[in-house]
Structure 1
């Protein structure tokens, strides 16, 4: 059976065509749910997903008629996506996520049905000022987590870290179920500080391109002592009065931003994790390496800390979506 997996986020869509567990065609497009928000219409998203699917099929050398199953996950299931699907409340494993799948025909994208995989949300009753810190949710990271666990043969308990524009920290229990998640804006915050503040001059408008452990640790320590806002200005002081390199200063800022994530993990009520829990860190190489180092330094986290290989992460969303479809009896 040929299976297409659609992974649509805020700004990008990635589609892979699978046959017998192997990717035989893939394509990506700079289109996501942000286009729906900006234009007030789903037309650009529909057209972009359709074109991306056709490109993936062309690379696979097959026609749409040969597709036996089409799966979609990520922000494509949000209210600004193509088919809104309610979140499944945690704890949620493969079976619970599978039960929440919804089939819909979007003729502007494909003549046949598309199966949409739901996201997962924390189990909180009524959200208020008193309980809002306990709430969190995800769309797309649940299949990535399931896919990472499947490829690595993990069960749990574990903490899966997915640093990025919106960094996600996902707790897994001993049965392999997602028990909750915590989200930060680490990547977006880093982007704004680097490109749209006075620090653009100090950093050359660029992120760290090689990890400097000493500067990363210094940034984390400074931020814990004086806070992120003061550290940001300290980065400018270092620019004006020292001969530190651009990459050194970028590492200093990166360490501070990621240290704030670890503070959130220690103090948040969104997820509950013990100090001995193993941590698996995925994401882009620099973010992954930096976060792995800081987890290893933090005395609160005493479990082993492992990096997830790029190849595992690249296929995680598709592998996870197919695992969910298998639990639904579609494969």
Structure 2
């Protein structure tokens, strides 16, 4: 069976051709739903998805007629995507995601119907200042979670940490249902602080290249004690008045930003973290290492910590989308 999976985020689109459960070709473009939000038109996104599909098929030496199923997930299902579908309310498992799928024929993009996988949101109503922090949502991470569950043979309860531009913390229960999520802007903050503030010169506009545990933990501890803004400014102090090197200072900043994320994880009403729950960490190598070190050195956390190996991370979104389609009986087991 030949399947195309479309994974569209805010800034990028990745399309994978699968043959009998194995990824055989990948094509990507730096176009996402941000382009729709900026221009007010879907034309650029339409063109990017169409052309990237063609590129994936060409790499895989396959024609459109040979494709049996097309699946799409991520921000492509939002109001600035190709076909908006509502979030599924947490708690939501793979069966709930399967029931929420919708099919749409978009002939200007592909000749066959595209099946869209819904996102998940926390079940919070009548939102105001009194409860807005309890609300959170995701589009794309839910299929990555399903991909991790399948690839790791994972059984909850567990807390899944997925750092990125928008870092996600997703809790699953003993039935592998997503019970809630919480989002931070840690990746964007780290990028902006490193490139677009007075600290850029102290960091040579670059991130940490290897982990320095002492500096990482020191940054996290200071941010916890006096706040993120003041802790960040101390990067400049370390540059001006100490012998610490650039990578040391970058580790200090990384610890401060990610330490603030752990405060969110421990205190947010959106997710209700429990100290003894197991923690699964996926993402880029340097961020995985940093978060694992911070969690392991925080007395709050007592569950097992698993860092997902790099070789098990590729194509999680596509793998999860196929798992959801299988639950919808669109894919032969």
TM-score, normalising length: structure 1: 0.99
SS in 2 for 1:314: coil
Asked if the contact 1:98/1:327 (under 8 Å) is kept, the reply is yes
Task: State how many pairs are aligned.
Answer: 331
- In the TM superposition, residue 233 of structure 1 has moved relative to its aligned partner by 1.2
Partner residue, 2:33 = 33
Structure 1 residues 200-242: Cα deviation after superposition (integer angstroms, max 9, x where no partner) = 0100111111111111011011111111111111110111111
Partner residue, 2:6 = 6
Structure 1 residues 61-110: Cα deviation after superposition (integer angstroms, max 9, x where no partner) = 10011100000000000100000010000000000011110101122211
SS in 2 for 1:26: strand
Partner residue, 1:15 = 15
- C-alpha RMSD of the superposition: 0.7
Partner residue, 1:181 = 181
- Within 5 A, what are the aligned runs for 1:166-245? 166-245=166-245
In the alignment, the residues of structure 2 paired with residue 310 and residue 77 of structure 1 have an alpha-carbon distance, to the nearest angstrom, of: 28
- In the TM superposition, residue 127 of structure 1 has moved relative to its aligned partner by 1.1
In the alignment, the residues of structure 2 paired with residue 321 and residue 208 of structure 1 have an alpha-carbon distance, to the nearest angstrom, of: 33
In the alignment, the residues of structure 2 paired with residue 196 and residue 242 of structure 1 have an alpha-carbon distance, to the nearest angstrom, of: 23
Partner residue, 1:149 = 149
Query: Is 1:270 the equivalent of 2:242?
Result: no
- Within 5 A, what are the aligned runs for 1:223-302? 223-302=223-302
In the alignment, the residues of structure 1 paired with residue 208 and residue 223 of structure 2 have an alpha-carbon distance, to the nearest angstrom, of: 17
Asked if the contact 1:144/1:313 (under 8 Å) is kept, the reply is no
Partner residue, 2:128 = 128
- In the TM superposition, residue 38 of structure 1 has moved relative to its aligned partner by 1.4
- In the TM superposition, residue 329 of structure 1 has moved relative to its aligned partner by 1.0
In the alignment, the residues of structure 2 paired with residue 98 and residue 6 of structure 1 have an alpha-carbon distance, to the nearest angstrom, of: 16
- In the TM superposition, residue 311 of structure 1 has moved relative to its aligned partner by 2.5
In the alignment, the residues of structure 1 paired with residue 131 and residue 327 of structure 2 have an alpha-carbon distance, to the nearest angstrom, of: 33
SS in 2 for 1:179: strand
- In the TM superposition, residue 166 of structure 1 has moved relative to its aligned partner by 0.2
Partner residue, 2:65 = 65
Q: Which runs of 4+ in 1 moved over 6 A?
A: none
- In the TM superposition, residue 273 of structure 1 has moved relative to its aligned partner by 2.5
Structure 1 residues 252-280: Cα deviation after superposition (integer angstroms, max 9, x where no partner) = 00000000011011111001222111100
